[in-house]
Amino acid sequence: MNIIGTGLSGLVGSRVTELLGVFHSFEDLSLEAGVDITKFDEVEKRLTASNAPWVFHFAAFTDVQGSEAEKDKGIESASWKVNVEATRNIASVCDKLGKHILYLSTDYVFDGMADSYDEQAVANPQGWYAKTKYEGEKIIKNMTSLGLVVRIANPYRAKPVGKKDFMHKILERLQQGLPVAAPTDQKMTATYIDDLAHGIEKLISINATGVYNIPGADSFSPYEGALAIADVFGTSKTAISETTFEAYFASRAPIPRYGVLTHDKIESLGIQLHTFKEGLIEIKQMEDK
C-alpha cells in the first residue's frame, strides 16, 4: 500500500516507517516536501495528487511548556495552527477524497483524576497543548467512516531520531551521574514505538475507525521507571531521588497525574504490548549491537 503522512521524519514517524516500510511505500507531506500543512490549498493539491488510501497525521506541536507559554495567543498560537488547523485541513481533504486518516493523540487529553482511561473515557484536557490535541481529536472523530484516533503516551524507542525520548533523557543523566528527581505518587504508561508500529499495521489492514489506545502493557511511577532504566542499563541508582508530583510540576504546564491508558481494545486484535522493562531490554539489545 502507498501511504502519505506528516511527521514521518520525527521520533515516532521515522521508526514506524522503518518498520512498516517492508510492507508499504511512504510519501512525505511536510515542509521539506514543499507542503505547509497549515495551508489548505497546499494540502488539497498534494493529497489530490496522491493515490494513497491512508494518511498518517503524526506531525504535531509537542513542546508542552512552549505551548503553555503561548496559550494567550489562542487560535493564533503555533500549537493551535499545527494541532488543530492543519488537522482540519487534512481531515477536510480526506473527507472529500475518501481517504482514511490516522491521527496520533495523547494521554494528556485526560485530567488525570481517574485510575485509568479507556477509549470511551470523557476527555478533560488541562494544559494548552492537551487542549489543542483534543480539538484535533474531535475533528477526526467526526469523520465516522474514515477517521482513526490512536492515543499514545510517553513514546520511546531504540536510537531515537531528532529529539530524545523521555527514557533516553533519563538514561543520559544517569550515565553522566547527574541528579534525577522523579515523582513516586504519579502513574504513567509508556508506548514502545515498535509496538505502536505493529498496532498501526493491524489497524490499517482492517480499515479501523474510532479510537484505540496503544500504551505500554503496564503502568509505573516515574521513580519506578528511573530505577528500571538504571537496572537494565547498569547505571548507578544513587543519583535517583524521590519527589512528589506537586513539587516536580509546580512551575510547569499541567499534565495528568494518573495518565494510565487501558489496552484491552488493541490487544483484542492480537497485538501484544511490552511492559516498560521488556521494552528497555529490547532497546538495550538493539543499541548494544
Q: What pLDDT is recorded for position 158?
A: 98
As given in the structure block, the three cell numbers for residue 126 are 488541562
Q: What pLDDT is recorded for position 163?
A: 85
- Partnered with residue 105 across adjacent β-strands are 151
Q: What pLDDT is recorded for position 148?
A: 98
Say whether 117 sits in a helix, a strand or coil. Answer: strand
pTM of the full structure: 0.96
The whole-number mean pLDDT for each consecutive block of 10 residues of the chain, a chain of 289 residues, reads 96 97 96 94 97 97 96 97 98 98 98 97 98 98 95 97 94 97 98 98 98 98 98 97 97 95 98 98 97
Q: Which amino acid is at 248?
A: Y
Q: What pLDDT is recorded for position 262?
A: 98
Q: What pLDDT is recorded for position 187?
A: 98
For 47, 215, 255, 266, the CA distances from 201, given in Å and listed in that order, are 21, 16, 29, 12
Cα separation, 89 vs 43, whole angstroms: 7
